[in-house]
Structure formats: structure tokens, C-alpha cells
Amino acid sequence: MEKWILSSILLFTLPFGNARAQNSMDHFPKGAQSMGLGNASLTLSDPWAVFNNIGALGSSPGELTAFAGYDHRLGLNELTTLSAGMTIPTEHMGNIGIGLSSYGGTLFNQQQIGIGMANQLGLASLGIKLSYFQTNIEGFGRSARPVVEFGGTAELIPGLFFGAHMYNVTRSAVSQASGDYLPTTMKAGLSYRPSDHLMVNLETEKELQSPALFKAGLAYNFDQRFWARTGINTQPNNLFFGIGFKPQRYQVDYAMSRNYLLGFTHHFSFNYNLSAP
């Protein structure tokens, strides 16, 4: 009986199906840096661009980096996301990113593994990613589909950056028989960086069958080592706060978000630069 109740809660509160797909596991932006900014992270060229906007990875410094993250949502282990990946610089093909993640518990869980490539072409950084996305629901079976996404960033004028991203370009279905589809989502935004210490991000996100979402994020860094971040979302309304610490070889980030109805979510992430001397 308890399993049936929990399964029902997950199915109707987790995004699965046409109307609720916009928050499926792969659609959750990854990394506490992104979370601290309210997920307004389209233009960030950090390693987590592998998940958030593969196009931004082309403008990263080109370092061999490993990273991992842990998201604990609303105090429920069944809503936890684990993610990890690596960025690999190449001489002629730009930067390659590999990412994998797992979301959920025994009754409902989703996994994905993907590989992408991005390169700086003049003023623009462009990238494409192919993922294999699997959903498991106890009593309903398992399904898996390939997912294609692409994106890019560009510096319009000094200090002003534009980013865009499209997820699930081919409209891959969770189940052809039921007609349930993974979300096809389009995002676009601007990042204003008047100095090395301040960043202001504004973004909008639209899933085909859901209202548009607005995101805003603000970050300030102290001596290029410590960061303070905050952000806000609409549809639904969420507040975000975060901090970061980056010595020479590694970066540690923490973020906390609050849904005004459901409560708090905690995010941790860790990056380690394998190229640094």
C-alpha cells in the first residue's frame, strides 16, 4: 500500500507525460553554481555546461576537468539527483563533454548518459550533444530513447553575452504507445558582466505545452576565490541562494532553493582541474 501511494505521488508531482514533462530529470540544470543563480546559466562556460548548455563549453579554457554533483530535493531521497562528468580538450575539435546522471528511487527513476562537443567559431561558441535517456516506473516498465540538443553563446559587445539552447530537438517520446513525450524546450538569455566581480543574468525558457518561465541571477566574487549568488524563478516562484570557493585546482559550490509551497532543496557540486600544474 505504501509503495502504491508513493508511486502515485511521484507520478503526479514529478514531470512525466505531455503536461508535466518540462521538469524531467535531464531537464534539471546541474551544478550548484547554476542553482545559486536560479538556473540562469546559459552563458556559463564552466564544466557543467555539459548539462546546462553544451554550446557554452566551446568558450571554456580547454582544461581536462572532472566534476560531480548531488541534489537533495524537499528532504526526500526519492527526489535526489546524482550527476558526474568530464570535459576533455582537443586540438582541432574544440572541447568534448561527457555527462551522466541518475534521478529518483526504486519506484520511479531516470538515468541518462550523453556526450557532446563544442567549439569556438569566431565570436560564437556552438555545440551539440547526444544523450541516451531511460525511464523506469515500477509496474509500468522501462523505456529509453536518444535525445539531441544543441546550443550556443556569443559576446555581442564587451561584457554582454547572449546564449541559446534547445533540448530534445527530435521530440523523442518516452513511450510511443502512450503518446508521452520528453520536453522540447527552448531557452534564451543575456548575461551582463560590467567587471570581473559582477555578473547579472536574465533568461526565459519555454516548453512547447507550458507557460514561459523567467529566470534571473546575480553573482559577485571576492578576489576571484569566493562567490556569493542569488536568483529567482517564475512558474513556479522559487528563490535561490548560493556560495562558491575556488582555489587553484578545484571548485566547491553550494546552493539552496526554496519553493514557496514545497520547501527547501540543497545542491552540492565539486569540480577538479586535472590539467593544472
Question: Rounded CA gap, 48 and 31, in Å?
Answer: 6
| C-alpha R_g of the chain | 18
* Cα three-residue angle 101-104-109, rounded to 5 degrees: 80
Share of the chain above pLDDT 70, in %: 86
**3-state class of 271 per DSSP?**
strand
Question: Per-residue confidence at 220, pLDDT binned at 50, 70, 90?
Answer: very high
Q: SS3 string of 173-196?
A: EEECCCCEECCCEEEEEEEECCCC
User: How many other C-beta atoms lie within 10 A of the C-beta of residue 274?
Assistant: 12
User: Is the pLDDT confidence value at 118 over 50?
Assistant: yes
Q: Is the pLDDT of residue 21 over 50?
A: no
pLDDT for residue 2 is more than 50: no
The CATH number of residue 230's host domain is 2.40.160.60
What local confidence, expressed as pLDDT, does residue 169 receive?
86
* pLDDT higher than 90, residue 251: yes
Q: Which domain holds residue 44?
A: 2-13+21-273
For position 17, what pLDDT does the model report? 35
Burial of 25 (0-12, 13-18, 19+ CB in 10 A): buried
Per the structure, the count of domains in the chain is 1
Whether residue 136 contacts residue 108, with contact meaning beta carbons closer than 8 Å, is answered with yes
Strands 81-89 and 238-245: unpaired
Compute the average pLDDT of residues 28-56: 93
Instruction: Label residue 111 by pLDDT band (50, 70, 90).
Output: very high
